[in-house]
A and B are shown apart, each in its own frame.
Chain A
Amino acid sequence: MSTQAAPVREEDVVVQHEVVDANRSIRLRLGRAAAFLVVGAITIAFVALKITAGADSELTFGKAFGNQLQLVLPGRPVALALGVLILLIGAWQAVRGFGRRTMPWAVFATFLAFMVAFLCWVSVRGTASLDIVGLLQNSIALAVPLILGALAGVLCERSGVINIAIEGQMLSGAWAGAIVGSVVGSYYGLLAAMVAGALLGVLLAVFSIKYLVNQVVLGVVLNVLALGLTGFLYDAFMQPNAETLNQPAVLGEIDIPGLSSIPVIGPLLFQANIVVYLAYILIIVIDVALFRTRWGLRTRAVGEHPKAADTVGIRVLAVRYRNVILGGAVAGLGGAYFTIGSVGGFAKNITSGNGFIALAALIFGRWSPIGAVGASLLFGFASALNVMLSITVPLIPSNFLAMLPYLATIFAVAGLVGKVRAPAADGEPYVK
């Protein structure tokens, strides 16, 4: 605990000078081009040319239509074409370079082309028939808790409090959702999950804002606390009385009338339970609120430069308390998805590291709500692909497939995102 009366620190007065290396941008451009070219070459050599010449690839769109909607493609030419497309993107990057705005689209197009080529390979007629809509449905199901966790991180960190405790908040939400859901009812369980997450948020807020505890340390400790406490209470109460305390009804599926009958999109997005819809709402609300409202401006000001915010009369600590506790509630909601949102009962460590993946998604998405959602969807897709392929395609050892999402993250973070910049005051307690 410091009694320092926050003197004017060096970084407040010194403008950061950066030496611009003229060669660096060229190297960077060519480096990225090389990355595209490698992906293109892999697509051609290891995917397209592995497809038996003349074989057809069958892609199925949705069990909802009785597997009527099938796309039969000539596998090899399509995959080859997609590989060439990626090579062209790489060539363009080498010659002209994509700008700040077009780069994400180029990456997305490359990713999509590679994935379609890959799916053509694994769905060659006779080996397996892949249900694309089912795959995407699973992706969203796996991504929802990540999205909520990452949004919780956005709320906290944009106001300048590092939240490593997402995992713990989700775990306590999952626990509270299961036990209250069993005793009272699933919707009350949902509420309890948010309260439980918010309670951990309160701990995070009080210790980091009032007692100035290092926030990275605090987050780790709160995770251990949540893991121990939920495990303890599970062993002490829920396991011995599983019928009464650990069998909540799973939240029912709600079909949005009209929207849910749209082909492909309907079953994908509008046949889900309330947690998913709440996630949709939260994505939009948080993104709009953060960049378009007074609350959002204050939050960002407090996260970037609390002293300046304080000078113009914003109550820095109050903003931080509110955001951290709100974030806890959102993470708790995400935790509820693991129990009452999908399987029902609670098990020890049921979140199994998803909070850390959400944290990675938050950083990957550069602390923006939409970026975090995109990163979460990517993780969700990779996990869903892994689940599907390990069942249908015995070509690759399943453990290597399971590594894919994590390997992809490392490549993405190292190759494309690079040095990200957190909100400037993230992790620094504010003392008047």
Chain B
Amino acid sequence: MTHADSDAPASDETTAAAASEPVPPAEQRTPRRASAWQTIWVTVLAFVTALAIGAILIAISDQATRDAASYFFSWPWDTFTNAGHAIANAYTALFEGAIFNPKIAASGTLNGYLGPISETLVNATPLIVGGLSVGLAFRAGLFNIGGQGQIIMGAVFAGFVGFHWQMPAGLHVLAGIAAGMVGGAIWGGIAGWLKARTGAHEVITTIMLNYIAYYLLLYLLSVKGFQAPPYGQAISNPVDQNAQLFPLFGDTMRVHAGLIISLIAAVVVWWLLKYSTLGFRLRAVGANQFAARTAGMKVERSYVTVMLIAGALCGLAGVSQILGTNTQITQDIDAGIGFDAITVALLGRANPVGIVFAGLLFGALHAGGSQMQTYTPIDLVQVIQALIVLFIAAPAVIRAIFRMKASGAGVGAELAKGWNG
């Protein structure tokens, strides 16, 4: 792929970082990784572009704008002002829901100032661990679509320990967390074991395990002992007070200690990938399984190991859902995190630091989205989320739009391989 635009003169300040060094002709340049700054620029511009496309959708969905558009050619300004209002309203609500809301801050309470941030963090907590799970599997050459099932199993195990066992305060939480990790690890481990043992493709097995976990959950929610009395609704017993993750900013805000667990998990995964022998082995298998095998690594064993760890991480997402955010298991306890985690991992380029920021960004979008609902359908958040990842995955598109120079591999270029591994 040659870059037709790479020799064009720098047209705006966005290219300053790239243009500061002399650029040899495209043919002579060696391919190199994008610099950190450029990565950030592309991410920001992808976000802006996605928001711009979202703005068009908001305008189209706004009734007043459409009414004004019917006389667009005789008096076009109404269309623009109405569209502007609709877009401003929606994005203001998005910001107020996710970062800071001057209206509730006026009350002067801590909750008023930090409430929106707390919502962002609550949403980000499971997305970060889920993203770590998918990202780690990517690095080892596996595509873990099984987040949903692993989260469900994590929540079921953690929830069961939470409401069925009686233990002292500190110990109970730890037992719940451990149980959740075990639950997720079992579910992920099955897929890894099947791949190692029989070669069954993990994309198929994890998708199937998602459905199995879902129906298992539905069954459990109809069993006495698991289901909450009076047994009319498909909802589990509430988790014991002792087993709940404590709130971080006091009882008025929902953000809970699960966030700390997520960040610890990020550090552990970062260390694992960067410094440990196991991480080196996983990355080697992910980069080229044949070379890894030739070098004497046990490829099959690494499949099992990575799926166990990935499952345990998703199990932690389930823990955060059931011991932190909610107290009772319902049939949508996974809340779509298993699939959102894939986009988080991709946005974070399967890199633990990136995943934390990506999780925070998507957490903010989710938190703001529920606030935005009064103006425009919440599914817009999903569209924006998809567009961001799409543009980041194809930096060439963003560079073409904003006339940026230079190169660098897009996200995922070195992550998931094709079906043949």
Q: Give me the interface of A with B, judged by CB distance under 8 Å.
A: 1-4, 162, 207, 211-218, 220-222, 224-225, 227-229, 231-237, 348, 353, 356-357, 359-360, 363-364, 397, 399-400, 402-403, 406-407, 409-410, 413-415, 417-422, 424, 426-428, 431
| 6 contacting pairs across A/B (C-beta < 8 A) | A214-B393, A217-B346, A232-B383, A356-B207, A403-B212, A428-B418
CB distance from B313 to the nearest CB of A (A): 18
B219 touches A400 (CB 8 A): yes
Q: Does B15 contact A (CB under 8 A)?
A: no
Q: Which residues of A contact B194 (CB under 8 A)?
A: 410, 413-414
CB distance from A162 to the nearest CB of B (A): 6
Name which of B199, B200, B346, B411 has the most chain A CB atoms within 10 A of its CB.
B200
Name which of B343, B376, B410 has the most chain A CB atoms within 10 A of its CB.
B410
Q: Does B408 contact A (CB under 8 A)?
A: yes
Which are the 4 A-B pairs with shortest beta-carbon distances? A427-B418, A228-B382, A419-B199, A235-B377
A214 touches B204 (CB 8 A): no
A3 touches B385 (CB 8 A): no
Given contacts A211-B394, A221-B393, A363 and B201 within 8 Å (CB-CB): yes
Closest to B201 in A: A363
Q: Does B110 contact A (CB under 8 A)?
A: no
Q: Which residues of B contact A237 (CB under 8 A)?
A: 61
Closest to B373 in A: A235
B211 touches A221 (CB 8 A): no
- In-complex Cβ contact of A211 among B212, B397, B420 (8 A): B397
- In-complex Cβ contact of A228 among B197, B346, B383, B393 (8 A): B383
Q: Which residues of B contact A233 (CB under 8 A)?
A: 61
Given contacts A228-B380, A232-B380, A410 and B31 within 8 Å (CB-CB): no
Name which of B61, B379, B381, B387 has the most chain A CB atoms within 10 A of its CB.
B379
Q: Which residues of A contact B384 (CB under 8 A)?
A: 228
B420 touches A424 (CB 8 A): yes
B1 touches A221 (CB 8 A): no
A421 to B29, CA, bound (A): 36
A236 to B58, CA, bound (A): 9
A406 touches B208 (CB 8 A): yes
Q: Which residues of A contact B200 (CB under 8 A)?
A: 410, 413-414, 417-419
A212 to B396, CA, bound (A): 9
Q: Which residues of B contact A228 (CB under 8 A)?
A: 379-386
Q: Which residues of B contact A409 (CB under 8 A)?
A: 204, 208
CB distance from B289 to the nearest CB of A (A): 12
Please give 9 more A-B residue pairs, beta carbons under 8 A apart, in addition to A236-B376, A409-B204: A3-B2, A3-B3, A207-B397, A211-B396, A211-B410, A217-B415, A220-B343, A420-B201, A424-B420
A400 to B415, CA, bound (A): 36
Given contacts A232-B57, A424-B420, A402 and B215 within 8 Å (CB-CB): yes
Q: Which residues of A contact B205 (CB under 8 A)?
A: 410, 413-414
Q: How does the 8 Å CB contact mask read for B189-227 relative to A, with 1 for contact and 0 for none?
A: 000001001111101110111011001101100100000
CB distance from B339 to the nearest CB of A (A): 7
